[in-house]
Chains A and B, each alone.
Chain A
Amino acid sequence: MNLSRNVGRSLAAPVTLWLLAAFAMPLGVVMLLSLHEYSDIFGPLLRPPSLEQFRLVLGDRFYLGILFETLLLAGGVTLVSVLLGYPLALWLVSVPTRWRSLAFMVILIPLLTNVVVRSLGIVLLLSPDGILNSILGFVGIGPFRNMLYNHFAVMVALAQVFMPFVVLALYDVLQGTNPRVKEAAESLGASPSMVFWTVRFPMALPGLRAGIIIVFLMASTAYVSATILGGGRVLTSGLLVYREAIVNLNFPTAAALTLVMTVASLAFSALVILVFKYLMPWMNTARNSGRPNATLPAIPAPLMRAQEILGPVIYWILLMAAIGLLLMPLYLVVVQSFNDVPQASSARFRGFTTKWYEIVLTNGNYTDAFLNSVKLAVSATVIALALSIPAAFALSRFRFPGLTMLAVFWALPLSLPGVAIGVGMLKLLSIFIILPPFLGLLAVHVVLVIPFCISLLVASVQQLDRSQEEAAASLGANGVVRFFRIILPGLAPGLAAASIMAFLSSFGEVTVTGFLTTARMTTLPVRIYADASFMLEPTVHAVSALTMVITLVALAVLNKIFRVDRLYAR
């Protein structure tokens, strides 16, 4: 048992060390700032501690109201993302493998599109003369004139971009469910609904848990979509943190708000984990303490019958809604990138031009920024995976004191608004010598993508068939051979999902990067954000369109060279 503990600890060490070096410091700064009695931007970081800021935040009904509203919004986003993402994940695993990279592409479109462009797409969808009203008008409903600039609009926008995370989290576990289990259920006379609720759904619960936590934490810190689609009416705590920190330069209040928010969202995550533990009595992660014959509570027969009739209809409606929502930006980006207007926000088509592409392709700045972003995202993904694989094993196969605390620490970067990390970094920059820009950004990006990788990989590791490892061991394979010949191939779909997620989050990151960017190290999203800081031109559409084309080509080429379908399916 001692040996096993030590193995667990050493597996947990790399990721912990990285986070201690690159994340604990800015987090510590944020904590120190929150204990400042008043804001003094030039004052020393170390001051006699005071709880004044927390008193201010917790004693103000306005702040508390917004915190509550944010949690509610994040909950709503999570619910919509799961409702739309689940059918999508089911569809994705049913797509023939050779079409799967195209199907993946559909899911990744929103993640490949700049956040501003995505939000514009939602405006077009929900506006009074927009697409949704046209469709509803066709079947004689509506029009609804007040769908924009409220919580609903923000929720749709956030669900659009976070739904892919649910899909990717579910994808691997759904994919990993042995088809024979399904066949066994069918041979015992189970209807498709029955198979879903008694076999596929319970077996995919670890993925669902990862998806819910990721989406909730991200939605609770989001603020760009809230700004654009909330029309000034939707306030989130992320937005308040941004205002206090950047507009008012009031770091202490921003820090206190951040910490209160983080504690609240972590409490939610803990609740989710507890609920899922109750739902999955057979999966008690400690060794052998699970009850293999335990099941979910049975579904009442009338409900099941209703399910059988309505299930497929609901499935198709949700699937169509999900795909429609995902494809929105594609339409917008492709049409608008050829639109001859100087403003990206206009929906009216006024003439065909290719000049936005010319600007993007001939102005070397975009190319440089693109290459910087790719370099950064690839390095961050590789490092984060290397750190997360052992961590995922530590979490799912070992028990040692302090492991739960470590797991919380590993998830922290996801629950802290980017602005807060940026402020912590800024404070550090004013104290210490500046790091080489690339390394500084890389360190932070790895921190930001680690939580995705770990949560996805934990679900994958739990799915691994341990009897294969035991068989290999009994045939004389040592640890290294088993890792490369058995474990890694088994983890391939999970690794593919995690790297896609990590790559795209790093590739699109702008809030923290915006603070750390320097003259020689500008990333593509920061460039787009900078353009938007003056006036958003359709170059942003051209950039998004080119990013999509490049991704599609890259996926296709990878498919040819490496037989990526083996990544998509075990």
Chain B
Amino acid sequence: MTKLNRRTFGKLVLGAGVAAPFHFTRTAIAQPKPGDELVVGIWGGAQERIVRAMIEPQLVDKYGCTVSYVLGGTGERRARAYAERGRPSFDIVYLNIYESRQAVTDGVTQAPTDAVPNYEHLYDAAKIGGYGVAFNPCTLVYKGEKASAPITSWEDLFNEEWAGRLAAPSLPGMQGMAALLMLAKTYGGDEFNVDVGFEKLAALKPFAAIQTSAESAWQMFEQDIADITVEFGSLAQRAKESTNPEIVIADPTEGMCAAMNFACITTGAPNQVLAEEWINLHLSPEVMQEYMRETYYSPTVRNAEIPEELAGKIMTPEQVDNLVAFDWEHIASQQAAWTSRFTREIAG
């Protein structure tokens, strides 16, 4: 009940045009006490390791609380959060860019506020639909030795040397979405006019294969099945340094597609304060830098410096400003239709 009042109150104040910081306007909410359990839904692997090592101990030391993790893919986590709207078992769910904005619209998660002090350092794009925690753009990734000249534009996909060598990224999936949107944009369309994107994708057929994850793409590179694809720059950098040294990550003049990971507090989260504090810690320069080192994710806050050894591998503020942004809420509403169209017209 208190939360509803707080929200209504907050809206009233905002409606009156009082631009006071959020934490002045909200009523007192329950402070954490020892034994409280913060439940975080996040991906496994390096992501889990970083938050366990760098965020959890600080929170536990300060409040005597415990932190539990529900690990898994975004889809299952989102389905669960939707099923539990209003009485969530999670406090925080990590989502991708379009899911997070849709979730706020659907009342499943909260819009970001400056109750999280590091909110003020966030790039504007990272302040919609939760708290952006990592820029992770998608771009063209290819084998350098197979290219007659470095790729500088999305148009280069149509060069003779790549004919039949594309591991097409698939929809559903961020990489497929990026390919569709960037092709649309390059050839005069946008997210409201994706027909041209579909036409261009179809014109790239026959594909060498269709990749359904970064792993499958690297495997196709390694097995000499494909030479070029659309992937996350961060994952490509990691593959380049370990298994696929021939990889080149393109920086096309039309830009890269801005994908992002978000931390979202569920509506009605049982541990609001702990959740805000968790996210604040996630947005701290130290955690951001650990993410840069471990995953090549680019920071979403302006005050996190890029370590020298990572220069050129992490996006600078200028590059972030050049990222191509789309209306993700519109995209989310079209996702099912586009997926179906992709399956029928492109993948078949």
Contact = CB atoms under 8 A, between A and B. Distances in A.
Contact of A348 (B43, B235, B243, B336): B243
Contact of A233 (B68, B210, B218): B210
B218 A533 contact: no
A231 interface: yes
A526 B71 contact: yes
Interface stretch (A266-274, A468-476, A517-525): A517-525
B85 A42 contact: yes
Interface in B222-272: 222-225, 235, 238-239, 242-244
Interface stretch (B76-84, B111-119, B158-166, B274-282): B76-84
Interface stretch (A46-54, A170-178, A242-250, A497-505): A242-250
Interface string B24-62: 000000000000010100011111100000000000000
A186 interface: no
A95 interface: no
Nearest to B74: A533
B188 interface: no
29 contacts: A128-B223, A129-B223, A129-B224, A130-B223, A228-B216, A231-B209, A231-B210, A231-B211, A232-B209, A232-B211, A233-B210, A243-B339, A247-B172, A247-B335, A248-B335, A248-B339, A350-B243, A426-B80, A514-B73, A517-B71, A518-B70, A519-B39, A530-B48, A532-B45, A534-B44, A535-B214, A535-B215, A536-B215, A537-B45
A120 B344 CA distance: 27
A232 B170 contact: yes
B72 A526 contact: yes
Given A232-B347, A426-B83, A250 B209 contact: no
Contacts of A536: 45, 215
Given A247-B335, A248-B339, A517-B70, A233 B347 contact: yes
Given A149-B210, A519-B68, A535-B235, 13 more contacts: A42-B85, A123-B219, A232-B168, A232-B209, A243-B172, A246-B78, A345-B215, A345-B218, A346-B218, A346-B244, A347-B223, A426-B79, A519-B39
Interface in A298-351: 341-348, 350
Nearest to A150: B209
A426 B238 CA distance: 36
A343 B93 CA distance: 26
A100 interface: no
A286 B84 CA distance: 50
B8 interface: no
Contact of A429 (B37, B39, B84, B168): B84
B43 A533 contact: yes
Given A42-B85, A127-B223, A426-B79, A345 B216 contact: yes
A422 B72 CA distance: 14
Nearest to A539: B45
A522 B48 CA distance: 14
Contacts of A532: 44-45
A512 to B, nearest CB: 11
Contacts of A148: 209, 223, 225
A533 B85 contact: no
A399 interface: no
Interface string B89-133: 100000000000000001000000000000000000000000000
Contacts of B106: 41-42
Interface residues of B, number: 54
In the A-B complex, the 4 residue pairs with the closest CB atoms:
A232-B210, A519-B68, A530-B44, A530-B71
A517 B242 contact: no
Nearest to A250: B336
Interface in A37-82: 41-42, 62
Contacts of B79: 245-246, 249, 423, 426, 515
A386 to B, nearest CB: 31
B45 A519 contact: no
A430 B44 contact: no
A213 interface: no
A260 B308 CA distance: 58
A430 B72 contact: no
A514 B72 contact: yes
Given A41-B82, A520-B68, A62 B43 contact: no
B83 A248 contact: no
A200 to B, nearest CB: 42
A527 B336 contact: no
Interface of A: 41-42, 62, 120, 123, 127-130, 148-149, 227-228, 231-233, 235, 243, 245-250, 341-348, 350, 422-423, 426-427, 429-430, 434, 514-515, 517-520, 522, 526-527, 529-537
Contacts of A250: 336
Contacts of B172: 243, 247-248
Contacts of B186: none
Contacts of B76: 246, 422, 514-515
Nearest to A244: B336
B216 A343 contact: no
B46 A534 contact: yes
Nearest to A245: B79
Nearest to A247: B172
Contacts of A534: 43-48
Contact of A341 (B43, B216, B235, B243): B243
Interface string B289-300: 000000000000
A182 B303 CA distance: 82
B20 to A, nearest CB: 32
A438 to B, nearest CB: 15
Contacts of A348: 222, 243
Interface string B314-348: 00000000000000000000011001000110010
Contact of A430 (B78, B83, B211, B212): B83
A518 B80 CA distance: 11
A533 B223 contact: no
Contacts of B69: 519
B75 interface: yes
Contacts of A430: 83-85
Nearest to B39: A519
Contacts of A537: 45-46
Contacts of B71: 517, 522, 526-527, 530-531, 533
A228 B214 CA distance: 11
B242 A345 contact: no
A345 B214 CA distance: 10
A344 B335 CA distance: 30
A304 to B, nearest CB: 45
B335 to A, nearest CB: 7
Contacts of B225: 127-128, 148-149
A130 B219 CA distance: 12
Contacts of A427: 83
A529 B73 CA distance: 8
A474 to B, nearest CB: 58
Contacts of A434: 89
A515 B225 CA distance: 35
A342 B83 CA distance: 35
Given A232-B168, A341-B243, A514-B72, A128 B224 contact: yes
